[in-house]
A and B are shown apart, each in its own frame.
Chain A
């Protein structure tokens, strides 16, 4: 039974991963990742980490992925151009991936950790419970816990800052304009921005987020 579940989870995870990489539409990639996350939760359960499995589903697949969905909906998915500017990248990347996997696998399988060949020691039924995790968080790992909270605070503040209104943005420029032209135009019109009434700028910033203005490929 356990093997079946394992292979199901593994296949799901792997399929999701390959889907993320391979899908052209970013939205489909997001969905593939969600599948991947759920599969991982199954694997976590198999490893007696109930709390982590729940956290994975609730936090990761629930919150983070929803965030992704929103952003992809806003930004839109555009099809990347086929032309590869970096020579050899398309060839080397899979090769390196394979090489990486092979090396890591060899490192694991040929290692002298005998315990790797086992299923681990017998654990009490409370292994992986929230209580156990809670104890650890508040006793042994208090400082990492507090640090993580600060990190969350920082991230929240950062998100607000990033999402805030820009004070100066050049109005009415099409996407994909090379930076030289943008820069030149800004230079030739230095005092123009300050004299412009604010409402015009607001209107141009919140332009329709359709696929056309968002297409970025030059």
Chain B
């Protein structure tokens, strides 16, 4: 399969992730869709790395994974904290910066 298949698949996955962010209201699911987008980016990186012929893209993708992990940790920590404060877990409800 030529590289463009992978790239097109990556953009498709990215679009699905973006749509998910726009549609869903639960923070957990939004974070999941964010993961989708990150992974789509990873796929593109690795495909390009294969196209160019060196592994620099793969290293980049590894770092992206690290970043994604960190971000998930913090995001989920936030969700837990919100849940603990008995606030509704809904991004539309959590729209006032108070207190």
Contact = CB atoms under 8 A, between A and B. Distances in A.
Contacts of A176: 88, 93
B69 A74 contact: no
Contacts of A215: 88
A2 to B, nearest CB: 6
A155 to B, nearest CB: 3
Place the interface of chain A in its size category: 35 or more
B84 to A, nearest CB: 7
A52 B46 contact: yes
Interface in B38-58: 39, 42-43, 46-47, 49-53, 55-56, 58
Q: Which DSSP category, helix, strand, loop or mixed, fits chain B's interface?
A: helix
A175 B88 contact: yes
A13 B13 contact: yes
Interface in A161-218: 162-163, 166, 169, 173-177, 179, 182-183, 186, 205, 209, 213-218
A80 B50 contact: no
A17 B13 contact: yes
A118 B51 contact: yes
Interface string A73-111: 011011010000110011011101110110011001100
B83 A209 contact: yes
Contact of A162 (B8, B24, B74): B74
Interface size class of B (residues with CB under 8 A): 35 or more
A36 to B, nearest CB: 7
Count chain A CB atoms within 10 A of each CB in B19, B24, B86 and give the residue with the most.
B86
Contact of B12 (A101, A148, A183): A101
Interface string B75-95: 011111101111111101100
B42 A14 contact: no
Interface string B9-22: 10111111111101
A210 to B, nearest CB: 12
A71 B76 contact: yes
The 9 A-B pairs of least Cβ separation, nearest first, read: A216-B88, A162-B77, A97-B19, A155-B70, A104-B11, A93-B22, A21-B20, A101-B15, A216-B89
Interface of A: 2-3, 6, 10, 13-14, 17-18, 20-21, 26, 29-30, 33, 36-37, 40, 43-44, 46-49, 51-52, 55-56, 59-60, 63-64, 67-68, 71-72, 74-75, 77-78, 80, 85-86, 89-90, 92-94, 96-98, 100-101, 104-105, 108-109, 115-121, 123, 127-128, 132-133, 136-137, 140-141, 144-145, 148, 151-152, 154-156, 158-159, 162-163, 166, 169, 173-177, 179, 182-183, 186, 205, 209, 213-218
21 contacts: A10-B9, A21-B16, A52-B62, A60-B69, A64-B72, A80-B90, A89-B22, A93-B19, A93-B22, A101-B15, A105-B11, A140-B56, A151-B67, A154-B70, A155-B69, A166-B85, A176-B93, A183-B98, A216-B88, A216-B93, A218-B88
